[in-house]
Amino acid sequence: MRLTVVLVWLVAGAGSASAYPQFQLSTDHERCGDCHLSAAGGGLLNDYGRGESADTISGRGDGAFLHGAWEPPGWLALGADLRGALGGKQLDGHEPDTLAFPMQADVHARVAAGPVALSITAGLRGSARERSPGPAIAAWVASREHYVTYQRHDDGPYVRAGRFYPVFGIRTQDHTAYPRRHLGYYLLEEPYALGGGLSGTGWEAHGSAFVANPVPFTGAGPRASGATVYMERRLAAGTRALAGQARVAVTAEDRRYTVGAVGKQWLKGSRLMVLSELDLQVQTFTSGGGTRPQLVGYVGVTRMMLPGWMIGGAIQRWAPDLMLQGSTRNALEINAQAFPWAHVEVHLLLRAEATGGDTFAPNLLSLLQLHYYL
C-alpha cells in the first residue's frame, strides 16, 4: 500500500463545507437565509443560525464566534472553516492508496454598513506537486467568494455583485457531488456575477448573470459567461419544496443549456430528509463535434438524528453523452456525520463509483473528515 500524503492546504477542499442543504425543512426552517447571513444561503451563519448550530444540530456547546468568548460588533461578522481528511482509495485494478490531507482553511468576513455588505471568503491553498510559475500570492491564497450585497431588510429582495456561487441546484457541502462537479460548480469555479433574488411566503426566486473569470489563475473550470435562474416553492406546510432551474453557459469552445428540477421532502415521522435533483443539459460544440445531450441525477436520503448525528446515502449519475454507450459515471455513497459539540463535525464518506457502466468494477473511496468551524 502506497502512502500518499498531500502536504498542502489543498484547493481540493476550499470550496466545500459552507452549506448543508439537509438542514432546510428538516429543522423547521424553510429558507437557507433563516440561518445564513446571505439570503442565497451558504457561508457565514447569522446569530440565530449559530444558536441553532449548537442547540439543534449539536446539542452541546456555544455556537457563537469564538465559542462566545468575544462578540464582534454588529457591523462585523467573522468565521473560519478548517477541515482535514484521512482515508483511502482504490481504483479498479490498482493498488489501494492511503490519503491524508488538509482540505480546507478558509476565513470568512462580512462587513455591513446599513443595507450594504461586503462578504469575503479566502483560504490558503497550495499544490501537492510542482507549483506553477506565476504570481506568488495566487499560489498560496484563493478567494472563492467576494461580493457586495444590497438588501434593505432580512427577508426583502437583494442584489449582489462580485464573485459568488449562483443559486443553482442542491448546494451540497461535498464539492464532488455530481450536480456540483459536472454542472459548473466544482472547486473554485465560482464566476463573477451580478445576481439577485426575492422571496415571499412559501417561495423564493434567484437569478444571476455571470462572466468568465477575468483573472484566470484565480479560478478553474470552463471560462463561461451566461445566466442562471432558480425558483423554489414550498408545499405541504413547509415539509416539501419543488424547484425549477435553468442555466446557459457559453465559452469559446461550447455552449451548454441546462434545465432541471429539484425536489426536497422532509418525512417528519421517519425523520428522513430526501434531496433530489435531475438536470438535462445540451452541449453544442463551436467547432464541429455536433451536439450531445447530458444528464445529471442525484437522490440522497438522510436520517436526521439531531442533535448529534445524521446518516444517509446517495446515488448519483452523470451521463456526459446520453447517446454514447459506456460513457456514464454512477456513484453510490454513504455519509455518516456526527456533530458532537458546537463547531465540530466528524464526517465519514464511503463511495463506490463506476465509470462506463461497469458497475461491478467500481473505484472505491473512504474519507474521514474532521471539520472545525469558528
Partner 1 sequence: MHRAVLAAAGLAALAACDGAEDRSSDWDYVHTAILRPSCATAACHSGLSSVAGLDLSSPDAAYAFLTGRVCGAPPQAGDPPGNFVRPGQPESSQLMWMLRGEGTALVMPPDTPLPDVEIEIVERWILEGATCD
Q: Which is nearer to partner 1, 248 or 267 (CB)?
A: 248
Site string for partner 1, 100-139 (x = CB under 8 A): ---------------------------xxxx-xxx---x-
The number of CA neighbours under 13 Å toward the Cβ of 344 is 10
User: Which residues within the stretch 50-89 sit at the binding site for partner 1 (CB under 8 A)?
Assistant: 89
SS3 181: helix
Out of 186, 257, 309, 341, name the contact with partner 1 by CB under 8 A: 186
Contact 201, 207 (CB under 8 A): no
CA–CA separation, 19 and 167 (whole Å): 12
Largest CA distance in the chain: 61
SS3 218: helix
User: Which residues within the stretch 145-164 sit at the binding site for partner 1 (CB under 8 A)?
Assistant: none
**CB 332 → partner 1: shortest distance, Å?**
14
CA–CA separation, 275 and 19 (whole Å): 14
Contact 250, 225 (CB under 8 A): yes
The number of CA neighbours under 13 Å toward the Cβ of 243 is 26
Q: Which is nearer to partner 1, 111 or 299 (CB)?
A: 299
Place of cell 450594504: 116
292 forms part of the interface with partner 1 (CB under 8 A): yes
286 forms part of the interface with partner 1 (CB under 8 A): yes
Which residues 6+ apart lie within 8 Å of 5 measured at CB? 100, 101
Out of 28, 47, 55, 321, name the contact with partner 1 by CB under 8 A: 321
Place of cell 443595507: 115
How far are the Cα atoms of 139, 160, 306, 317 from residue 59, in angstroms, in the given order? 39, 34, 8, 35
218 forms part of the interface with partner 1 (CB under 8 A): yes
CA–CA separation, 333 and 365 (whole Å): 9
In our burial notation (b when 16+ CB lie closer than 10 A, e otherwise), range 74-105 reads eeebebbbbbbbebbbeeeeeeeeebebbbbb
211 forms part of the interface with partner 1 (CB under 8 A): no
Residues contacting partner 1: total by CB under 8 A:
63
323 forms part of the interface with partner 1 (CB under 8 A): yes
94 forms part of the interface with partner 1 (CB under 8 A): yes
Out of 136, 216, 269, 360, name the contact with partner 1 by CB under 8 A: 216
The backbone torsions φ and ψ at residue 137, rounded to the nearest 5 degrees and listed phi first, read -65, -35
320 forms part of the interface with partner 1 (CB under 8 A): yes
287 forms part of the interface with partner 1 (CB under 8 A): yes
10 forms part of the interface with partner 1 (CB under 8 A): yes
Q: Which is nearer to partner 1, 7 or 324 (CB)?
A: 324
Q: Which stretch binds partner 1 (CB under 8 A): 34-42, 68-76, 240-248, 319-327?
A: 319-327
Place of cell 456526459: 320
Out of 66, 152, 253, 268, name the contact with partner 1 by CB under 8 A: 253
367 forms part of the interface with partner 1 (CB under 8 A): no
Q: Which is nearer to partner 1, 243 or 365 (CB)?
A: 365
* Residue 16 DSSP symbol: -
Kindly list the residues in this chain that would bind partner 1 in the complex (CB under 8 A).
2, 10-12, 14-15, 89, 91-95, 127-130, 132-134, 138, 142, 176, 182, 186-189, 216-223, 253-254, 283, 285-290, 292, 319-329, 353, 355-358, 363, 365
